């Protein structure tokens, strides 16, 4: 390999390639630990005495070992697969991580092989339990303690889970929009990668995106939450305004009031002013979402503040944007560099209206 970087790929010599080093770092946790298992004593291999003699010690030894292994494997199957019923229904595999999670009425304990979560079934953890769901080759969902989820749908085109309460961490590599989570306050649509979603007993939720971005939707309300950002939801209200988690406390507090508490025009204007005052360039995320949430009278203020941080691209002008022209809003969103909104619009077109979250 002539390229210096390829020398690093070949044998670790030469100048390190930062991209490969990064891959090594994040993939290292999947490496085999190399520890030699404690093979059972009955696997002992009889010593060979005469290699080529018929019925030599070696042959007898291996016959004994083979028999022992067969017994071991048979015992292993009996112990680990007490109900090896064929799986015909669509569903996902659930593995216990701690405690005793339950799938329907069945408890997954230390002696149970992973359980199948079928469509319509509920997976529930108590305060001591954790579980891991393998989502049909497209991702993983970690179930934290005190969580209740229900599998709504599992088809090649769509995987849909309802989070009724508690916390999940999803890492998804499916095509955009294939993995969807219902919450009492909004529908969370995976637009790539990883996020944490929490729903409390009252149905209020919050989503934190770790990697990629996620769309939140309830009826006409929608929010896009890129990595490093969060977005709350409330039942019957829908998704609030997303914000980067390093935004000032004052901005986040004012945003919460604006989204869920302030109902008079004066009150809303008060909190909107606070948000506009606190906003940094990075908070263009929040300002873009406020365009659709501000009153007609206040929208011009949001437009000007956003334009100061991220000038509207060619073709995007004040008046149509103030009338919430979808095409112009989308063009401006793409200018923020947080994701291509056409992915979301494509998903919206493919989403059956009958499936929208109506809670």
Please, which of residues 179-208 interact with another protein by CB under 8 A? 191-194, 196
User: Per rule CB under 8 A, is residue 28 in the interface with another protein?
Assistant: yes
Query: What distance in Å separates the CA atoms of residue 357 and residue 236, rounded to the nearest whole number?
Result: 10
Query: What distance in Å separates the CA atoms of residue 160 and residue 223, rounded to the nearest whole number?
Result: 19
Please list every residue from 48 through 77 that binds another protein, using CB under 8 A. Answer: 48, 58-59, 61-62, 65-66, 69, 72-73
Question: According to CB under 8 A, which one of 120, 311, 313, 337 is a site residue for another protein?
Answer: 337
User: Per rule CB under 8 A, is residue 153 in the interface with another protein?
Assistant: no
Query: What's the Cα-to-Cα distance from 1 to each of 8, 14, 19, 340, rounded to whole Å?
Result: 10, 11, 18, 37
Which of 46, 253 has the CB closer to another protein? 46
Compute the least distance from the CB of residue 63 to another protein, in Å: 9
Compute the least distance from the CB of residue 204 to another protein, in Å: 22
Asked if 139 and 171 count as a contact pair (C-beta separation under 8 A), the reply is yes
User: Per rule CB under 8 A, is residue 345 in the interface with another protein?
Assistant: no
Question: According to CB under 8 A, which one of 4, 12, 308, 324 is a site residue for another protein?
Answer: 12
User: Per rule CB under 8 A, is residue 27 in the interface with another protein?
Assistant: yes
Buried b / exposed e over 199-234, threshold 16 CB at 10 Å, is beeebbbbbbbeebbbbbbbeebbbbbbbbbbbbbb
Angle at 263 between CA 259 and CA 264, to 5 degrees: 130
User: Per rule CB under 8 A, is residue 114 in the interface with another protein?
Assistant: yes
Query: What distance in Å separates the CA atoms of residue 88 and residue 66, rounded to the nearest whole number?
Result: 34
Query: What distance in Å separates the CA atoms of residue 155 and residue 153, rounded to the nearest whole number?
Result: 6
Compute the least distance from the CB of residue 323 to another protein, in Å: 28
Size of the site for another protein (CB under 8 A): 85
Phi, psi of 261 (to 5 degrees): -125, -40
Question: According to CB under 8 A, which one of 4, 15, 42, 43 is a site residue for another protein?
Answer: 43
Which of 85, 105 has the CB closer to another protein? 85
Compute the least distance from the CB of residue 243 to another protein, in Å: 16
Which of 1, 324 has the CB closer to another protein? 1
End-to-end CA separation in angstroms for the chain: 59
Asked if 203 and 235 count as a contact pair (C-beta separation under 8 A), the reply is yes
Query: What distance in Å separates the CA atoms of residue 235 and residue 214, rounded to the nearest whole number?
Result: 19
User: Per rule CB under 8 A, is residue 248 in the interface with another protein?
Assistant: no
Question: According to CB under 8 A, which one of 37, 314, 353, 354 is a site residue for another protein?
Answer: 37
Among the listed ranges 18-26, 149-157, 280-288, 349-357, the one in contact with another protein (CB under 8 A) is 18-26
User: Per rule CB under 8 A, is residue 226 in the interface with another protein?
Assistant: yes
Which of 75, 297 has the CB closer to another protein? 75
């009252």: which residue's tokens?
202
Phi, psi of 351 (to 5 degrees): -85, 125
Compute the least distance from the CB of residue 333 to another protein, in Å: 12
Using DSSP, state whether 203 is helix, strand or coil: coil
Residues 6+ apart with CB under 8 A from 43: 65, 68, 69, 72
Asked if 161 and 213 count as a contact pair (C-beta separation under 8 A), the reply is no
Please list every residue from 273 through 332 that binds another protein, using CB under 8 A. Answer: none
Question: According to CB under 8 A, which one of 150, 325, 343, 348 is a site residue for another protein?
Answer: 343
User: Per rule CB under 8 A, is residue 4 in the interface with another protein?
Assistant: no
User: Per rule CB under 8 A, is residue 107 in the interface with another protein?
Assistant: no
Compute the least distance from the CB of residue 256 to another protein, in Å: 25
Which of 18, 300 has the CB closer to another protein? 18
């Amino acid at each position: 390999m002539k390229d210096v970087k390829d020398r690093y790929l070949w044998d670790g010599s030469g100048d390190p390639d930062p991209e490969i080093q990064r891959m090594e770092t994040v993939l290292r946790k999947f490496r085999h630990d190399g520890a030699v298992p404690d093979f059972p004593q009955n696997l002992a291999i009889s010593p060979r005495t005469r290699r080529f003699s018929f019925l030599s010690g070696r042959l007898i030894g291996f016959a004994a070992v083979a028999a022992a292994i067969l017994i071991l494997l048979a015992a292993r199957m009996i112990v680990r697969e007490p109900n090896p019923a064929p799986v015909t229904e669509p569903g996902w595999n659930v593995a216990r991580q701690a405690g005793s999670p339950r799938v329907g009425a069945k408890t997954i304990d230390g002696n149970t092989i992973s359980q199948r979560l079928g469509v319509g079934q509920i997976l529930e953890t108590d305060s001591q339990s954790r579980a891991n769901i393998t989502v049909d080759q497209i991702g993983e969902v970690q179930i934290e303690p005190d969580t209740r989820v229900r599998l709504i749908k599992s088809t090649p085109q769509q995987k849909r889970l309802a989070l009724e309460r508690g916390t999940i961490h999803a890492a998804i590599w499916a095509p955009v929009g294939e993995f969807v989570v219902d919450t009492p306050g909004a529908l969370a649509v995976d637009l790539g990668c990883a996020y944490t979603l929490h729903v409390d007993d009252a149905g209020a939720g919050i989503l934190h995106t770790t990697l990629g971005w996620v769309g939140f939707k309830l009826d006409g309300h929608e929010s896009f939450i890129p990595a490093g950002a969060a977005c709350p939801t409330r039942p019957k209200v829908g998704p609030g305004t997303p914000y980067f988690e390093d935004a000032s406390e004052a901005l986040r507090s004012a945003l919460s009031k604006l989204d869920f508490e302030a109902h008079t025009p004066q009150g809303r204007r008060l909190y909107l002013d606070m948000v506009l005052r606190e906003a940094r360039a990075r908070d263009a995320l929040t300002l873009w979402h406020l365009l659709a949430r501000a009153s007609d009278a206040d929208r011009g203020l949001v437009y000007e503040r956003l334009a100061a941080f991220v000038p509207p691209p060619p073709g995007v002008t004040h008046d149509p944007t103030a009338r919430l022209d979808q095409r112009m809003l989308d063009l401006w969103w793409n200018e923020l560099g947080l994701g291509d909104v056409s992915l979301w619009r494509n998903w919206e077109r493919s989403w059956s209206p009958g499936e929208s979250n109506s809670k």
